[in-house]
Amino acid sequence: MARPALRPADVATYAVLAAGALVMLLPFVWMVSTSFKTGEATFVTPPQFIPANPTTDNYARVFSTVPMGQFFVNSLFVSVTSTALMVLNCAMAGYAFARIRFPGREILFYAYLATLMIPQQVTLVPLFALMTWLGWGNTYQALILPASFGAFGTFLLRQFFLRLPREVEEAAFIDGAGYVRIFFSIGLQLARPALATLAVFAFMASWNSFLWPLIITSNQSMMTLPVGLSFLNGRYATDWNVLMAGAVIGTLPILAVYVFAQKYIIQGLA
């Protein structure tokens, strides 16, 4: 079967999308290109996207300048743990708001949803005071627990659970299953696209988080990768080629997570 000819409107749409994709990709291409340049080649005019004399010394300098391995392990542990807790907590809350009827459910849900309008900066001082009172400064729990709950994730999964057919749950009730068993045996299985979407968003937010780890950690052994990369900024001058190498290292895990969960993300958003 012959493919239909492209209409002028389709060609214009593809052209606009391609131009937008190119604009979005340029900073990443420049970051990777600069990470393989020498210090002198970084500010060559006109700019070179393909280095004339590529080198991998910048990556070695990253690990020799700062404890990059420790920063990477900290970020990986904090991001994976907080993402797992975020997905579990939001899934349980979303299922309860979608399927379990209890007094004040709608009021509580909209009050919970209203917290999305509160900027993170407003909660930093009371959150820091609470963590200090608990004695959790420079600890993993201070980095993980505040990122383990979210109104956006609860809203996303509530909307997904509302679309699931009730006949499946009713058949499970007839077989003697309760809400807990239905949630873990049926709800989580059917909600895998939405769970994967939330997991990617939560992992990206935790991995890229800078302000809260900067405030709650003062010990270098507890710092995460975004905070650790700030040590590559010099007081009077910055080796941008070394900093870009560190940025490439910090970008790879997010890229890997997205590639792995891409199919589920598309299903979840659709």
CB–CB of 213/227 below 8 Å?
yes
Residue pointed to by tokens 């020799």: 64
Q: How far is CA 170 from CA 176, 186, 187, 198, in A?
A: 10, 12, 13, 27
Closest to 156 in 3D by CA, of 85, 87, 80? 87
Q: In the prediction, which pLDDT does 1 show?
A: 52
C-alpha to C-alpha distance for 180 and 188, rounded to whole angstroms: 11
Residue 236 in this model has a pLDDT that exceeds 70: no
Element (H, E) at 31: helix 8-35
pLDDT for the residue numbered 76: 94
Indicate whether 89 pLDDT > 90. yes
For 22-57, write each residue's pLDDT tens digit: 999 998 999 999 999 888 888 887 878 888 888 889
Which one has a higher pLDDT value, 145 or 65? 145
pLDDT at 146: 92
Taking only the tens place, the pLDDT of each residue in 170-216 is: 788 887 878 888 888 888 888 888 898 899 889 999 999 999 999 99
Q: Smallest Cα–Cα separation from 51: which of 29, 24, 23, 28?
A: 29
